Structure 1
Amino acid sequence: MSDNQPGGKPAEEPESSVPDDIWEQFTRDTERDIKASAPKEPSARARAVSERLRRQEARGELPEGWRTGPAWQEMNGRATRRRRLWAVVGVPLAIAVALVAVRPSLIPGDPFGAARSDGDSAADTTPLPEETAAPSAPPTEVDPNTPTLARPFAGSPAERYADGAAGIVPPPAKAVGAFSKAQVERVLRQTRQFLVDANLDPATLRGARPTAALKVLDPKQKDLLVLLNSSLRRPDAKHDPLWMFSRFNPAELRPAGDVIKTRGRMTFEADEGSSVVVHTDYTFVYPLVRAQGNTTEVTRTIVRRVIDIELYDPVKFDVTPGKISILKYNTQMGNTACDVYDGYLHPQFDSDAALTEATPTGPTVDPYDRSGDVDDEACATVTRS
């Protein structure tokens, strides 16, 4: 089509009614908005969240229509109105949001909280105070982060638990009945060391014989020692070393880092018959990766142990001075295979969730819930790991 008017005279261009400086500003804003709206590669956290949502969808844990959202017709109408509003306030608002994201302190009062300064998660990682009584409820849900080698306890209440043996703190000793303060202090110290040797010692965790833990037990407690020795030599359903010791097969698993998280408490009181009973209730959280291959997928196994240890008066009872006796014990294990009695814990990874060899038949439990009694159901369904 010709740009000339009939008769050969060129057409005159209409004079613009928009001032030059306004037009230049509009051009710069448009170019900037186009660049800002260009597709960007999602962050690692976004990819992790997407993967977790994909797994939840595959397991049927998400409500129908979560991906599609409202009907597209309704969304289209909303989008049109949003585009009109964006043309007026979008650019200044984007600048303000960016400034606040970089420097939250620009808003008076720091409404986002100083605890969220880690840049990766809004989770509170402040260590919990020492547990002095049974909790009244399970811990609340925490941030949805997937555990990694850098943060193996991400997404777990255990991120705020104490590290290893630092979480096993005996109470102050005092004289009880026929026992002096020094005697009570000794049994408390022995109890703590037994828990460390049975649940935190690297050799014990690799499946070695827990010699140090066994050595502190009274040799005159023959029935228990026969049971434990049999379970370590030939484990089966009636002789399971996991009732007392935490063990993993080093050919299958290795620790994800060098930290095990611990939470619990220890108390003592006089018992009938001139003895002292030390009551212990501790949860141990083990982060793990597969031993084979260059894998980065992390899972966790949670073990809660409630053990009562009794100190008898050797003047009145046939016991070995300087040794301790186990009065009773209960164990609850979270995220380990059902009906496998080879003496090792076998956690499940998200990537092989569909390959579970046995379907849980017991009740659903929260392995982090320390508010009630131990449920030693061997095949419970855990709500989280």
Structure 2
Amino acid sequence: MKGLVMPPARAMGGFSRKQVAAAVRRARNLLAAAHLNRKVLLGGRPEGLIRLLDPEQRKPFVEGLAHPGTKGDFRSQDWVTSLAPGSAELVGDTFKVHGKSRLSVFRENGLRGVRIKVNYLFVYAIRRPGRPETLTRLVAHNVGALDLWKEEGRLHFWVTEWNGGGVAPARCDIDDGFVHPFYPDSAPDAKLDHNARSVDPYSLEEEPSEECAALRSGT
């Protein structure tokens, strides 16, 4: 978790430094649970992330796991980097992490609190199972936010956005919530939009795109 550098906590928005520090730790632990747990990366259930969610958010998240990729439901599987079972194996024990986060005060829907905006890249070496010649790098980009607010005497740590930056190189023509890596020898992606603006998977600044676009730089 070395790369998950977080901003120093301070009293703000009517919350003490200790309360803000708890929110910062929660955000950091959520990032680790979503992107650095080997079991989850290989398609396992994200138990650690479930435990970290606000109790009122936990139930719909767990229900959404039962229906991955279903439009209209809580798309829980999209909140984690989880390779489709059997699609890849991790090479080595080191994952590269780079990014930033910032603290701000928000006022929305009658609530006032502290928001932690996160923007991190996670890079993994992967290959097809048993196929060392297919070694490639996979990049996951988490653009998200965690809000701290208080209601009826209870602190809430509420995920308002999560994992919005996408994963590359991954297939766009399979929408089941899991990451399906795109290897150099993969069949063409049926949803690749050749007219879409190409993307640099290593850029923290680029806005996520709705289209399935080609990569500007190799992974």
**Which TM-score band applies after superposition, normalised by the shorter structure?**
0.7 to 0.9
State the 1:277 CA deviation. Answer: 0.6
The partner residue of 2:140 within 303, 313, 324 is: 303
Q: Measured at CA, do residues 302 and 376 of structure 1 come closer, stay the same or move farther in structure 2, by a change above 3 Å?
A: same
Aligned residue for 1:375?
Answer: 208
Shift of 1:260: 1.3
Which runs of structure 2 are paired with 1:13-92 in the superposition (5 Å)?
A: none
CA contact (8 A) 1:231 1:343 kept: no
Counterpart Cα distance in 2 of 1:328 and 1:357: 27
The yes-or-no answer on 1:343 pairing with 2:180 is no
1:260 to 75, 88, 95: 95
Partner of 2:79: 244
2:15 equivalent to 1:179: yes
Asked if structure 2 preserves the Cα contact closer than 8 Å seen for 1:256 and 1:289, the reply is yes
Supply the AA of the counterpart residue of 1:271: F
SS at 2:161's partner residue?
Answer: strand
Query: How much has 1:174 moved relative to structure 2?
Result: 0.7
Q: 1:344 to 1:177 in 2, by over 3 A?
A: closer
Counterpart CA distance in 2 for 1:305 and 1:313 is 26
- Write the letter of the residue equivalent to 2:214: T
For residues 340 and 241 of structure 1, the distance between their equivalents in structure 2, rounded to whole angstroms, comes to 16
Asked whether 1:286 is paired with 2:120, we answer: no
Matches within 5 A, 1:136-155: none
Q: Deviations over 1:31-61 (max 9, x none)?
A: xxxxxxxxxxxxxxxxxxxxxxxxxxxxxxx
3-state SS in 2 of match to 1:182: helix
Sort the Cα spacing of 1:175 and 1:188 in 2 relative to 1 into closer, same or farther, 3 A.
Answer: same
Give the direction of change, closer, same or farther, for the CA distance of 1:300–1:314 in structure 2 (3 Å limit): same
Letter in 2 for 1:342: D
> Paired residue for 1:356, among 175, 185, 188?
188
Query: What is the percentage of aligned positions where both structures have the same residue?
Result: 28
Distance 1:212 1:371 in 2: 29
2:30 is equivalent to residue 194 of structure 1: yes
Show the 5 A alignment for 1:119-158: none
Partner of 2:115: 277
Alpha-carbon shift at residue 180 of structure 1 (Å): 0.7
Q: Taking structure 1 as reference, are residues 371 and 236 closer, same or farther at Cα in structure 2, changes over 3 Å only?
A: closer
The aligned amino acid for 1:247 is S
Distance 1:377 1:287, change over 3 A: farther
Q: 2:30 and 2:178 mapped to 1: Cα distance?
A: 19
For 1:230 and 1:357, how far apart are their aligned partners in 2?
30
Cα separation, 2, equivalents of 1:297 and 1:211? 30
Structure with higher helix content = 1
Partner SS state of residue 220, structure 1: helix
1:249–1:359 Cα change, 3 Å: closer
Give the Å deviation of 1:333.
2.0
Aligned to 1:49: none
- The one-letter amino acid of 2:19's match is Q
The TM-score with structure 1 as length reference comes to 0.51
- Partners of 2:160 and 2:191 in 1: CA distance: 33
* C-alpha distance in 1 between matches for 2:169 and 2:114: 34
SS in 2 for 1:248: coil
Q: Deviations over 1:114-147 (max 9, x none)?
A: xxxxxxxxxxxxxxxxxxxxxxxxxxxxxxxxxx
* 3-state secondary structure, aligned to 2:202: coil
Question: Is 1:214–2:50 an aligned residue pair?
Answer: yes
For structure 1, the residue ranges without an aligned partner over 5 or more in a row are 1-164
> How many residues are matched?
210
State the 1:175 CA deviation.
0.5
Which of structures 1 and 2 has the bigger CA Rg? 1
**1:89 aligned partner:** none
Gaps of 5+ in 2: none
Q: Distance in 2 between matches of 1:378 and 1:259?
A: 31
What is the TM-score of this pair, normalised by structure 2? 0.86
Equivalent position amino acid for 2:53 in 1: L
Distance 1:324 1:303, change over 3 A: same
1:315 to partner: Cα distance: 4.2
Structure (1/2) with the larger strand percentage: 2
Structure with bigger RCO (C-alpha 8 Å, 6+ apart)? 2
User: For residues 287 and 332 of structure 1, what CA distance do their matches in structure 2 show?
Assistant: 17
